[in-house]
Structure 1
Amino acid sequence: MSVQSVERALDVLEALAEHGGEAGLSEIAARTGLPYGTIHRLLQTLLARGYVRQESDRRYALGGGLVRLGEVAESMVGVWAQPYLSKMVELSGETANLAVLEGDFVVYVAQAASPRRLRMFAEVGRRVLPHSTAVGKVLLAGRTAEDAATVFGRTGMPRRTPNTIVDTDAMLTELALVRERGYAMDLGEEELGVHCLAVPVHDGGRVVAAMSVSGPAERIDALDRDELAEGMRKIAHAFGAELSPAAGGA
C-alpha cells in the first residue's frame, strides 16, 4: 500500500532530477500535477532534511543530503549488476561495463572482465566526458536534444583521438541514430584501437544507466553488431526490470 505524501515527495525529487537538478515551482507543478500549496509544503520538509536547497533566484535544486544516499545506492547497483555483466561477457567474450551519468560526466560503476589475455579495462570510478564514449552517447540519447546540447556547451567536446566527434550538430545527429537503433558505438573515439558497443538500461521509461562491451577493434568488428546489440538489450532489460519501482514493490 502506497503512502500518498511519500509518493508526492518522490514526485517532486524526480521532477527536479528531470529538469537537470533544478526547477521552479511552475516547472515542478507542470511535471507532477500537484497544487502549488502541496508542492511548497513538501519542499519545506525536503529543505529541512537537506534533500533540496533553495537558490538565490528562488528556484529549487537537489540538495547535498542526496549525495550520501546516492553513494550507497551506486555501490549497491554495481553489486546487483554483476550477474548481468557476466552474461554480457559470456555473450561477447569481451569486458562488460556499467556506467551512469553524474552531472555532466560518465562514471563507470561496475565491470566484469573478459577471460581473454588481451582485454580492455575501464577503472571503476573513472569519470569521462560523454561525447567520446558509447556509454555516454546512450546516456545522453535518453535526454532531449536540447538537454544534450546544453551538456556539450558546458563541457566542450575535446578531441580524444582523430575519430572523436567534436561538432555539436554532428553529435546530435549521432544521438538521434542511437535512439533509432537502440545502441551506440565508440569506434576508437576515446582510445585508438578500442571499440565499444553500449545499450541503455531503463528504469520504467527513463534511461538510468548504460551497459557496454569493449575490446580490441578487430575483435569487436568481427562480431555481428545487430545480433550482439539485441542480446545485450535483453540482458539490460532484465537488469532494468530489477531496478524498477515495480520490482521493488513486488
Structure 2
Amino acid sequence: MRKADIGDGGEAAPARSGTVQSVERAIDLLEAMTDAGGTVGLSQLAATSGLPLPTIYRLMRTLVGRGYVRQESSREYALGPRLVRLGDTAGRLVGVWAMPRLTELVDAIGETANLALMEGAQVVYVAQAPGRHSMRMFTEVGRRVSPHCTAVGKALLAQMPAERTREILRHTDLVAHTDNTITDLGAFERELDRVREAGYAVDEGEQELGVRCVAVALDGSLPAAVSISGPTTRMTDELLRSAVPKLQATADVLVDELARQQTNGASAPA
C-alpha cells in the first residue's frame, strides 16, 4: 500500500488504492465547474472542493494549457473547448450502448424513443430509435436544446439537487418556442414539483406544436433521461399511462447496466 500523499497545507491526504490523486482532483474541479454553470473563480472552487488555493491554481493552469479550461478577462475560469470533443464522443458511445433498450421501447410502444444527457445548462440527444410510424421529429441525435421546453429536460432538472437545478435555470433563458412553452420561472418551478411527485415529465407541445413527449430520468450517476415522443393524436393520455412504467423499467435497466460496467472497470487491473 502506498503512503498517503501530502497536501499543500502540510496535512496527509489519504489516497484511494490504485488511483492517482492529482487526476481525481482535476476531475473534481471540472465537475465543480460544471455544477456552477461552467464559469467560476478560484475562491469558489476552494469553497466547494476543499482544496488549498495553490493546488487549485496549479491544476487549473495545467487544464488551461491543455485547452480543457480557459481563463476569462474577469480572471474567472470557464470550461474549455476541448471538452466538447470529449463530450460529443462520449455521448455517441453512450447512445450506441443504449440503443438496444430504446429499440425495445419502440417495439413495446410504437413511438420514437430517445436518450438525452444534460451537458452544462443544455440537453443533448445522444440516441434515437425511430417509431414504427413515419413522422418528422424535431429531436435528432446531436441536437442541443434548453431543458425548460422538453420532457427530458424537465425530468433531469427535477432529479437534480435543488442548488444544481437553480444554477442551470440561472443560465437558461425561458424562451417561448410555442404558445405552450412555460416561460415564467415560478410556473416552471411548480411544474418541476409536479414532475417530482409524479416521477415522470410531459412536454405538451412546448418545443414543437403537435408533438407530445413523456420522459423519465435515470436514477444514477449518469445525468440522462429516456423518453418517447410522437404526434398528439397518437400520444393519448391512455398511451402515456401505459408508457410510463415501461420507461421507468428501461431507465432502471440502463442504471443497472451502467453500474455493472463501472464495477467491472474499477476492478480491472491497471
In which range does the TM-score fall when normalised by the shorter chain? 0.7 to 0.9
Q: How far apart, in 1, do the equivalents of 2:79 and 2:250 lie? A: 31
Aligned-partner Cα distance in 2 for 1:41–1:191: 46
Instruction: Choose the corresponding residue for 2:175, options 152, 157, 160.
Output: 157
| Aligned pairs (5 A) from 1:1-250 | 1-115=18-132, 117-119=133-135, 121=137, 122-141=139-158, 142=160, 144=162, 145-152=165-172, 155-160=173-178, 162-204=179-221, 208-223=223-238, 225-226=240-241, 228-243=243-258, 246-247=262-263, 248-250=265-267
Structure 1 residues 148 and 37: CA distance shift in structure 2, 3 A: closer
Identity of aligned residues (%): 49
Contact 2:35 2:167 survives alignment (8 Å): no
Q: Which amino acid aligns with 1:53?
A: R
| Gap regions ≥5 residues in structure 2 | 1-17
When normalised by structure 2's length, the TM-score is 0.79
Alpha-carbon distance, 1:227 to partner: 5.0
Q: How far does the alpha carbon of each residue in 1:97-121 deviate from its partner, in whole angstroms, 9 at most, with x for none?
A: 1123345443322100122x34563
C-alpha spacing 1:178/1:57, structure 2 compared with 1 (3 Å): same
C-alpha displacement of 1:148:
4.2
How has the CA–CA distance of structure 1 residues 189 and 27 changed in structure 2, closer, same or farther, with 3 Å as cutoff? Answer: same
CA distance, structure 2, for counterparts of residue 118 and residue 222 of structure 1: 21
- Tell me how far apart the structure 1 counterparts of residues 124 and 146 of structure 2 sit (CA, whole Å): 9
| TM-score normalized with structure 1 length | 0.85
Cα shift at 1:36: 2.1
Check the 8 A contact 1:120/1:214 in 2, yes or no.
Answer: no
Report the AA paired with residue 215 of structure 2.
A
CA distance in 2, matches of 1:81, 1:10: 25
- Distance of 1:156 and 1:30 partners within structure 2: 30
1:126-162 per-residue CA deviation (whole Å, 9 max, x = no partner) reads 333332221122233336352243134xx242141x3
Paired residue secondary structure (1:57):
coil
| Structure 1: 5+ residue stretches without partners | none
Mapped partners of 1:208, 1:104: distance in 2: 12
Maintained 8 Å contact 1:157/1:167 = no
Equivalences, count? 244
> In the alignment, residue 223 of structure 2 is paired with which amino acid?
V
| 2:112/2:129 contact within 8 Å kept | yes
Structure showing greater Rg: 2
Instruction: State the superposition RMSD in angstroms.
Output: 2.5
